[in-house]
Structure 1
Amino acid sequence: MKPMVLAAALWLAAAFPATAETLIRYSNWLPVKHQMHAEVFVPWMAEVEKITQGRVKFEILPKLVGTVPTQFDVVRDGLADMAVFVPGFSPGRFELIEVTELPLLADEPTVISPAANALYTKHLAKYDEFKGVHMVSLFSTAAGHIYTAKKPMRSIGDLKGLKLRTSLASNGPAMIALGAVPIQKGTNEIYELVTSGVVDGTLWTKEGPAGFSMVNGTLNHMLLVPGGLYNSILALAINQDKWNTIAPNDRDAITKISGDVMAKAIGESYSRADERGLQMMKAAGANVVTADGEFLAAIRRALSPAEATWIAKAKKKGMANPEAVLADFKADIAARQRAFERAR
């Protein structure tokens, strides 16, 4: 081979390696048996490696990088390449996405999870609240309800003065509106807080107590609120610079199995876990009450200002039509709820 031809061949081989590989380092804070990790993320990583023929691979790091509340910054700053982050752990920072956490929207995970991702893609992504990361998917866990250790809840008056553990800062105003006292603490602190009497109970999903082995008399009373008192929104994100190193055809292939597809899978996993958790609570003898009639009407009246509060925030952020965005979100939820009920 002539020297010039050989040099050109070597340059091409260096510029376009045939087996280029992108390794994505995943900072994980979920238990290995958690349904999101075991049923969705791990299979998704395996599928990504398959469809990219090994050009994109993952390393689940042996321990969490940073803290759970700082996972967005960890990924944006490249301390890890991928992580799940919770926007609600950073109050005042990601205000547009708070629309997906408004009370009484939906309490079926297979409805709210893909609806939240669709809303983000259609209306919110263009505002670039999550600059510096590529959003693989945005999704919801199960809706939150109220648990107490000693006091049953049969009217809105029973909520007055209750000290309730909350996980998200955005839950605080809703609890105050209901007459309760919010105390923001982590999920891993619930058992100690309840058994020591620091709190009377907690906001939690139907699957929460079962997942944390607290169906043994720790939380004896459960109030189910149709529509849910809140939905906790999470996102799986990849550092933007790392995402850009992946070949365009591989990015397209990954995108097809992410987004809505992932949000639906997570919704389904939480729906199954919710049902298991609720049945375990009932089997353990918990007093389960569903708010209805005047009780539910009173809750709705108390929480009605939440939408106006978000609309005001959205306008300050530069959104011209937040009322229309919220209406579109509600219409999508309603359509998905009808489809869910038809399929049951």
Structure 2
Amino acid sequence: MTLKLALVASALVVAGSAATAKTRLLVNCFWPSSHFACSEVLPNWIDEVERVTEGRVTGIIPPKSVAPPPEQLAAVEKGIADVSVMFNGFFGDGVQGPRVAMQPFVAIRGAETMSRALWATNRKYFPDEVSTVHLLSQFVISPGELYSQTDTPITTLEDLANRKMWVLPGPLAAITKELGTGVVATPAVKSNEIISRGVVDGHLGLDPQAVEAFQLLPYTKSTTRLSQPIYATSFSVFANSDKWAEISPEDQQAIMSVSGDVLGAAFGKRWDEAAAQGEAAYEGAGLQVIMADPAFEQALMEASAFVTEGWLKAAGDTGIDAQAALDFYRSQLDGAMN
């Protein structure tokens, strides 16, 4: 074979290898494998990524999480996982933007709408805030509710202050502690350990699907339904920066076309469906729904104002126009509801 023919043959081999090269993403999911985030939403996203990249980028979800929930960012930064999801409260004080959706009395009962609103707010006010990984999406889940485990519903600030409550860590724990409530704060996945043993006599922060999923209906007697939910939780989806850089710009653009608000809305929609299923189980479990007195709701709103004041300062300190971001997020929700 002449040198020229050998060079041509070598070039064809290299070109063929490049054409068939695939990037496979290890997509971690910290929820149990049976949870719809792991069994439906993320697998569907992987299918969409493979479709829009014509098979050049694929993905796989490990059977068990490669790291605990608070360590998802570190796992992706280190390359233990290529893509993961994390509660935005675990980012630390340097990432404040997505907490706009976690401020008291900002949420609505519509996770799909909140998720689209959060991504729009991210793109406008804090698109580059998460810098050590490539941000793929942000989303919000259905809001947490207020529940009583005794025959007496929680209908006043005094009722709440006189209880011992399991509370989701973060703003809700801060609010209830400020009221003088006895607080046991753990991650949601640990709630059953506390609530089922009768350690507390109420809980605050779980949405209806979580109450059902964590098998808490037998221990819950009533829920006090506020006209506007007190709190919702937001999450981020992100990729390892080096792994992302391996993907061609064209495929990166294609992946983002099925990520961003598209992926966020998919998470939110599925949470909305699960929340509706959870609420449908109330009647069969004998769980009573009490509509909150407006005076109680107003008092709770005033008692929680310090949380938003603190966030406005903290977010402002990172360079975000926090009040504008909060106003914009609220306007996105109002626009979707009207």
Same fold (TM over 0.5): yes
Match of 2:111 in 1: 109
Higher alpha-carbon deviation: 267-276 or 196-205:
196-205
Name the counterpart of 2:135.
Answer: 135
Distance 1:335 1:110 in 2: 14
Q: Structure 1 residue 9: deviation in Å?
A: 5.5
Asked if the contact 1:112–1:267 (Cα under 8 Å) also holds between the matched residues in 2, the reply is: yes
Q: Which residues in structure 2 correspond to 1:215-234 (within 5 Å)?
A: 215=217, 217-234=218-235
1:225-244 to structure 2, matched below 5 A, reads 225-244=226-245
Q: Which residue of 1 aligns with 2:3?
A: 3
> Given the superposition, is the C-alpha separation of residues 314 and 93 from structure 1 closer, same or farther in structure 2, using an over 3 Å criterion?
closer
Greater mean alpha carbon deviation, residues 266-275 or residues 14-23: 14-23
Corresponding residue number in structure 1 for 2:169: 168
User: What are the residue-to-residue correspondences of 1:39-188 with 2, within 5 Å?
Assistant: 39-107=40-108, 108-126=110-128, 128=129, 130-150=130-150, 151-188=152-189
Measured in 2, the distance between the counterparts of 1:41 and 1:199 equals: 35
1:140 Cα shift?
0.7
Larger mean Cα displacement after TM superposition, 163-172 or 97-106: 163-172
Is the 8 Å Cα contact of residues 148 and 222 (structure 2) preserved in structure 1?
Answer: yes
Indicate the SS of the match to 1:134: strand
| SS of residue paired to 2:20 | coil
Contact 1:178 1:303 in 2 (8 A): no
Alignment correspondent of 1:332: 332
State the 1:56 CA deviation.
Answer: 0.8
CA contact (8 A) 1:148 1:200 kept: yes
- 1:269 maps to a residue whose letter is R
Deviations 1:62-90 (A, max 9, x none): 32212111001111121111111112135
Q: Name the counterpart of 1:17.
A: 18
Contact 1:51 1:253 in 2 (8 A): yes
Which of 321-330 and 68-77 deviates more?
321-330
Alignment size in residue pairs? 334
On the 8 A contact 1:104/1:226 being kept in 2, the answer is: no
| Structure 1 Cα separation of the partners of residues 9 and 103 of structure 2 | 59
Q: Secondary structure at the match of 1:164?
A: strand
Is the partner of 1:143 in helix, strand or coil?
coil
Retained in 1: the 8 A contact 2:115–2:264? yes
- State the one-letter code of the partner of 1:49: E
Secondary structure of 2:238's match? strand
Aligned residue identity for 2:328:
D
SS in 1 for 2:219: coil
TM superposition shift of 1:259: 0.8
| Alpha-carbon contact 1:105-1:228 (below 8 Å) kept | yes
Deviations 1:105-145 (A, max 9, x none): 1232122121112111221123x2x2221111100111011
TM-score of the two chains, using structure 1 as the length reference: 0.90
TM-score, reference length from structure 2: 0.91
Q: Structure 2 CA distance, aligned partners of 1:93 and 1:211? A: 32
Deviates more, 1:217-226 or 1:188-197: 188-197
Distance 1:206 1:37 in 2: 19
Unaligned residue ranges in structure 1 (runs of 5+): 339-344
Tell me how far apart the structure 2 counterparts of residues 103 and 13 of structure 1 sit (CA, whole Å). Answer: 60
Q: Give the drift of 1:163.
A: 2.4
Q: Give the match's secondary structure for 1:289.
A: strand
1:179-218 CA-to-partner distances (Å, cap 9, x unmatched) read: 4333221223322312333222222112111112222x21
- 1:71–1:85 contact (8 Å) kept in structure 2: yes
Q: Percent identity?
A: 27
Show CA shifts across 1:294-339 (max 9, x none).
Answer: 11111111122222211111222123x322221111111111122x
Q: Is the 8 A contact 2:134 2:244 kept in 1?
A: yes
Distance 1:88 1:242 in 2: 25
- Residue by residue, what CA displacement relative to the aligned partner does 1:10-46 show, whole Å, maximum 9, x if unpaired? 2475377111100111222222332323332111111
CA contact (8 A) 2:169 2:187 kept: no
Which sections of structure 2, spanning at least 5 residues, go unmatched? none
* Higher alpha-carbon deviation: 180-189 or 293-302: 180-189
